[in-house]
Each structure stands twice: as structure tokens, then as C-alpha cells.
DNA sequence: GTCATTGCAAAGGATTTGCAGTTCC
DNA sequence: GGAACTGCAAATCCTTTGCAATGAC
């Protein structure tokens, strides 16, 4: 989603986040994609507009935005952290072939609960569902080269 | 679950894993606990029996056991890798206070599926559900010291 | 005997920390 | 003006890699 700087300013203020050019650029980059980029990918993107920006600022900013609730962190296995500008409740499809992450918006999944018998006294605040499989492209690739072994974790 | 060395031997052979004392000790340590230890915790535990063992061996072995399907890796956010000797299909409760991980065995959760409309051509092989909340102990601790701010990720 | 496994040391990679200078409010 | 943010460099932590010696089958 394309945001103008006014939108960003308003959002940041509403979440009590100080506005700086670097932050706006990082948030903008995240809002414009659905690809769940890593901190480093965001750094590379933002560097085109702000050649002087440091990785540290990207990490620091992502931390600030996350705590403010403007950004979500998505973790797949132990790969590097990936970020999501979509902060509505949703879940993910993860491709075991190419590691792409696709958003799943499904009200039924949002309603999941643990049975009392299994809850062990926990007070549950939220949950997260990941589906693992192969995307259309990787299924085709597998048919073309079915002999290659694959490591799934 | 307590396993004798005969059990371990049999299991390893069935999964085509070479038997060594170190491997047996690592697997034993994992089978005996439900606490989802990290590689380093396993290293510390096993070192009591095998003072000469190296961290590398623990990592390498966990990789071998994982690929053989004898061990599962559980990832919570970006914390370090944690391992689970329970390889049946199940899900997890995660405490945001003390980071403990508790197994959830629930047939309904095992049956989840993505609606066709959301599947985007993926062929789904499995899924994983994490519930996030506070365990009984951490709920009490929060009542005792409610002023302390908490960072949740 | 052969090849996988082990242990040691060093490298790698993502993220965090310390700190001085700068910027936002 | 003061606190928060930025950029740079160095540190930290988990995990992987290279390699020679050892051990399983």
C-alpha cells in the first residue's frame, strides 16, 4: 500500500513514534510490499533514498515500530527475522522450497482456542498459525527435477 | 521418558542413524525432559556424563536426529533453537513471561486447513500452531508487581 | 578398511551495545 | 533545551565450517 508522508506522520503520531526521514522511509518500504522482507533487505531498499543510513538505524527503528504496534515480526524456523507491515490478525503460508511467505486472512483461524483441558492455567492472548508446503512455482520445479533431494526442517 | 540404551540403539537403527555414546546421551537427555531445551542446555547436560564432548557434536547430532525424524525443532520468535523429543504432531503454548514451552495435544488443531480461496495454489504438508500467553506462575508474578513494564514481541 | 563422526579452533552472520554527534518536539 | 535518534565501530551470541584424529559398521 502506497502511503504519502502525511499518512505516515499521522500514524506515527497516533502511536507516539517520533518522526524522522529514516523511519518514514523504512515504514514506507514495508507498507509497499507484501514480501515480508528482512531487516537487511529493508536496509538495502532504504539506502537507495538515504545512502548514509546505517543498519543499526534499521534495526533500532524496526524495534520501535514493533513495540508501537505498527509492524509485526514473522519468524520462519531459524531464518533471519522478517517483517510485516500488515498488523491485522492474520496467519501465514510458508513455502518450503523458496521460503516465500504469503498472508492468510481467515476468520476461522483467528477464532482458534485451546481446550481448557490443555490450557494448563495459561491465559492466552493470541496465537499464530503457519502452514508449510510448496507454492505453485516450487511444485512445478519439483516435477521438472524430482530426483533432487530436499531438506525440510 | 526414560529410555534404556537398547531402546535407543533400536530406534537409531530403525532410522539409519549411527550409534555413538554422544548421540545416545544427547537423545536420552532430550527424551527425558519436556522442557524443550536449547542446544546449549543439552550440551551442558550431556557434558556431565561426557566432559570431553564439544558443542559442535551437539549441533551436528541434533541436525542428524532432526533429519532422521527423531527430533523436532521448535522456534519461538528469534530466540535460540529449542528441541523436542516428541515427534508426534502437536502444537505449543508459549509463555511470554518465562518463555516456557508446553506441548498441546489436540486432535482438532491437527485437522486445521486453509480454505481453498486462501491457499493460492500451495500444496500444504503440515502446519504449526503457537498460542501465546502467560502461564499460571507468571500471571501471579504480574499481580504481585503490576507496575513493571513488559516487552512482548 | 572406509566413511561418518568427533573435537578443536576459527569463521560467519544476524543482532545488539557503547558512544559521540545530531535532530526532533 | 533535553531527550530521543542516528551512524559508526566493536562486541556478542548462536551456529556453521575446516580439518585432522577417531570410531562405527
Measured CA to C1', what is the nucleotide nearest A19? C24
Q: Contact, B93 vs A113, CB < 8 A?
A: no
Note the pLDDT of residue A148: 45
Note the pLDDT of residue B145: 67
Is pLDDT at A35 greater than 90 in this prediction? Answer: yes
Same fold, B1-87 and B88-153: no
Contact A106 B118 (CB under 8 A): yes
Note the pLDDT of residue B76: 85
Average pLDDT, chain A: 91
The structural domains of chain A, with segments of one domain joined by +, span 1-87, 88-153
Is A10 an 8 Å CB contact of chain B?
A: no
Whole-prediction pTM value? Answer: 0.87
Question: What percentage of chain A exceeds 90 in pLDDT?
Answer: 78
Interface of B with A in 86-105 (CB under 8 A): 93, 95-96, 102, 104-105
Q: Which CATH class is domain A1-87?
A: mainly alpha
Note the pLDDT of residue A152: 40
Q: Which CATH class is domain A88-153?
A: alpha beta
Q: What is the pLDDT of residues B29-79, one digit of tens each?
A: 999 999 999 999 999 999 999 999 999 999 999 999 999 999 999 988 888
Q: What is the pLDDT of residues A47-105, one digit of tens each?
A: 999 999 999 999 999 999 999 999 999 988 888 999 999 999 999 999 998 999 999 99
Amino acid at each position: 500500500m502506497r502511503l504519502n508522508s502525511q499518512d505516515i506522520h499521522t500514524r506515527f503520531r497516533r502511536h507516539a513514534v517520533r518522526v524522522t526521514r529514516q523511519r518514514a522511509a523504512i515504514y514506507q518500504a514495508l507498507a509497499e510490499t507484501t514480501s515480508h522482507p528482512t531487516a537487511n533487505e529493508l536496509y538495502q531498499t532504504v539506502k537507495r533514498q538515504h545512502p548514509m543510513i546505517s543498519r543499526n538505524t534499521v534495526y533500532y527503528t524496526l524495534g520501535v515500530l514493533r513495540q508501537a504496534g505498527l509492524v509485526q515480526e514473522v519468524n520462519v524456523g531459524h531464518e533471519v527475522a522478517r517483517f510485516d507491515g500488515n498488523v491485522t490478525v492474520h496467519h501465514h503460508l510458508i513455502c518450503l522450497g523458496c521460503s516465500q511467505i504469503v498472508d492468510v486472512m481467515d476468520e476461522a483461524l483467528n477464532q482458534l482456542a485451546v481446550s481448557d483441558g490443555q490450557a494448563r492455567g495459561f491465559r492466552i492472548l493470541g496465537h499464530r498459525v503457519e502452514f508449510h508446503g510448496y507454492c505453485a512455482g516450487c511444485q512445478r520445479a519439483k516435477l521438472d527435477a524430482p530426483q533432487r533431494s530436499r531438506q525440510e526442517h
